[in-house]
């Protein structure tokens, strides 16, 4: 059952910045509304109100809308015109295709002096003999009836024949009211029968469920026999059978002849709601529950996993571990094993503002950055490769120069590395004169040098 709520009105008041107290136009068509409520309290300044194609059975709670000029209640379940006396500014009223059988109820509109247009086509009262004459004579302020202009001569003639036409209208109203009472009784009886059938069906389903439970108690266990693993297939078959039965019931409902009455419209709505609920229930049963994704094996070994599809920064969670990195996107993991151990504390993640790529920087444990040194992979020697190597070596020789041939002194080797001892500890080298020196004179009086 659709109801008029504040949230519903705000959703349909976007043109007024969702402000409802100053709203002048409101459209609530095709909302399955069954009762008019709250509008006269929340939207006092309404001038145009669209309520067509709903299930409203009575005109109510609109008498306080003093500024209302146009009210559209077409395609509803209204059976009587009432409670519109307070709508002082009403100029146009549309009641097309309703169930108004009491044509005399139009007299309640005599106080709406500004009413110029009225639509009653598609109602049972529009088939009454003398319908137009009665309305034209009763509502003298009208200018248009069912889209046709009322001429002055037509109104004069209708006023002259009003007593006779009014008597005929009353007789036809009485016959219609008797017929309508029988239709209501028949609809009530059908509703009670359907409810009793539904209760019997539910009790039958419940007994069937107990029977299956008793039977399963006598079956062997899983260890004794593996033939009973087909239970999901049986359940799926039951779902298909139920779906087929529901389809047959649906075809039977739509092919069954019925009168166009307020009760039949409500019955159609209930049937469609039941179909919608059953479809949602079946879709929930058909959904397969995915097993949780394995990220780490039982022996503690991490696995490469890539499950997410969408990369949204607000939904990304990066977890760096020494041997692997895991990126969670909307609860779905993307995990990679690292070829070397990294430092989680020094790692960081960022996202490019131009390309949108996610970059995770993870320094290695004990990594030493050495410039101008590259390790070359062993390559099998082939004639072509040897030529390439010779050409490369020639290029390398141009860049590297023999230190002995350098014309510029090697600044890096000017100071040679050696161990320097403290000055006070370092002993001076002993100078021992050589006897072969021609200037050497051995004076025995001079003591030897220590």
307: domain CATH number? 2.60.40
Domain count, the chain: 2
The label of the residue with tokens 């995915």 reads 290
For the chain, helix (H) and strand (E) counts, in that order, are: 8, 13
Asked whether residue 50 is assigned to any structural domain, the reply reads yes
* Residue 444 DSSP SS3: coil
* Of residues 301 and 145, more confidently modeled: 145
Same domain, 145 and 15: yes
Domain boundary among 179, 208, 223: 179
* CB distance 87 to 62 below 8 Å: yes
> Which tens digit of pLDDT belongs to each residue from 63-82?
999 999 999 999 999 999 99
CATH of the domain at 146: 3.80.10.10
- Quick check: is 74 in a domain? yes
**90 within some domain:** yes
134-171 pLDDT tens trace: 999 999 999 999 999 999 999 999 999 999 999 999 99
CB within 8 Å of 1: residues ≥ 6 apart: 32, 34
- Tell me: the pLDDT tens digits for 236-294? 555 555 566 667 776 776 677 767 788 888 888 887 888 888 787 777 776 666 677 77
Residue 403 in tokens: 């230190």
pTM of the model: 0.54
Cβ atoms within 10 Å of 268's Cβ, excluding its own: 14
Strand order of the β-sheet with 70-72 is: 25-27, 48-50, 70-72, 92-94, 117-119, 144-145, 148-149
Has residue 240 been placed in a domain?
Answer: no
Asked if residue 444 belongs to a domain, the reply is no
Count Cβ neighbours within 10 Å for each residue of 289-327 and write b for 16 or more, e otherwise. Answer: eeeeeeeeeeeeebeebeebeeeeeeebebebeeebbbb
Q: Does residue 294 lie within any of the structural domains?
A: no
pLDDT of residue 222: 38
All residues at 6 or more sequence positions from 329 whose CB lies less than 8 Å from its CB, including other chains: 308, 310, 311, 312, 315, 316, 317
* Domain termination residue (choose one: 361, 384, 403): 361
Alpha helix segments (H runs only) across 14-70: 39-42
- The dihedral built from the CA positions of residue 220, 225, 228 and 229, taken in this order, carries a sign that is positive
- Whether 211 is covered by a domain: the verdict is no
Polymer length in residues for the chain: 450
Q: Which domain holds residue 83?
A: 2-179
Residue 196 lies in a domain: no
Please identify, among 161, 179, 197, the residue that sits at the C-terminal boundary of a domain.
Answer: 179
């Amino acid at each position: 059952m659709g109801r008029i709520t504040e949230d519903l009105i705000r959703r349909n008041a976007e043109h007024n910045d969702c402000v409802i107290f100053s709203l002048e136009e409101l459209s609530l068509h095709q909302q399955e509304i069954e009762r008019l409520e709250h509008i006269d309290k929340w939207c006092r300044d309404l001038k145009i109100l669209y309520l067509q194609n709903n299930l409203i059975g009575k005109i109510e709670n609109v008498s306080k809308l003093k500024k209302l000029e146009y009210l559209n209640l077409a395609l509803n379940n209204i059976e009587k015109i009432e409670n519109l006396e307070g709508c002082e500014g009403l100029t146009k009223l549309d009641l097309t295709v309703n169930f108004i059988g009491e044509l005399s109820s139009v007299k309640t509109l005599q106080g709406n002096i500004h009413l110029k247009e009225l639509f009653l086509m598609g109602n049972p009262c529009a088939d009454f003999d003398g319908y137009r004459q009665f309305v034209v004579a009763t509502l003298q302020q009208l200018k248009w009836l069912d889209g046709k202009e009322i001429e002055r001569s037509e109104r004069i003639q209708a006023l002259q024949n009003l007593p006779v036409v009014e008597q005929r209208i009353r007789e036809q109203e009485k016959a219609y009211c008797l017929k309508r009472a029988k239709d209501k009784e028949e609809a009530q009886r059908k509703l009670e029968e359907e409810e009793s059938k539904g209760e019997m069906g539910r009790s039958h389903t419940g007994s069937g469920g107990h029977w299956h439970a008793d039977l399963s108690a006598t079956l062997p266990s899983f260890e004794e026999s593996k033939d009973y693993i087909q239970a999901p297939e049986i359940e799926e078959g039951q779902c298909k059978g139920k779906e087929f039965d529901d389809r047959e019931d649906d075809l039977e409902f739509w092919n069954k002849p019925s009168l166009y009455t307020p009760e039949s419209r409500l019955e159609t709505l209930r049937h469609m709601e039941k179909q919608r609920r059953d479809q949602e229930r079946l879709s929930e049963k058909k959904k397969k529950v995915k097993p949780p994704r394995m990220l780490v094996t039982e022996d503690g070994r991490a696995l490469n996993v890539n499950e997410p599809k969408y990369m949204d920064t607000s939904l990304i969670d990066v977890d760096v571990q020494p041997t692997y990195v895991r990126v969670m996107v909307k609860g779905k993991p993307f995990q990679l094993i690292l070829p070397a151990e990294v430092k989680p504390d020094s790692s960081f993640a960022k996202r490019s503002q131009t390309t949108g790529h996610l970059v995770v920087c993870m320094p290695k444990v004990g990594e030493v950055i050495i410039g101008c040194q590259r390790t070359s992979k062993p390559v099998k020697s082939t004639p072509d490769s040897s030529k390439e190597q010779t050409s490369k070596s020639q290029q390398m020789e141009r860049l590297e120069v023999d230190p002995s041939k350098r014309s510029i002194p090697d600044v890096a080797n000017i100071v040679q590395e050696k161990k320097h001892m403290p000055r006070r500890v370092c002993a001076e080298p002993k100078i021992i004169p050589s006897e072969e020196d021609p200037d050497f004179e051995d004076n025995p009086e001079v003591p030897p040098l220590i």
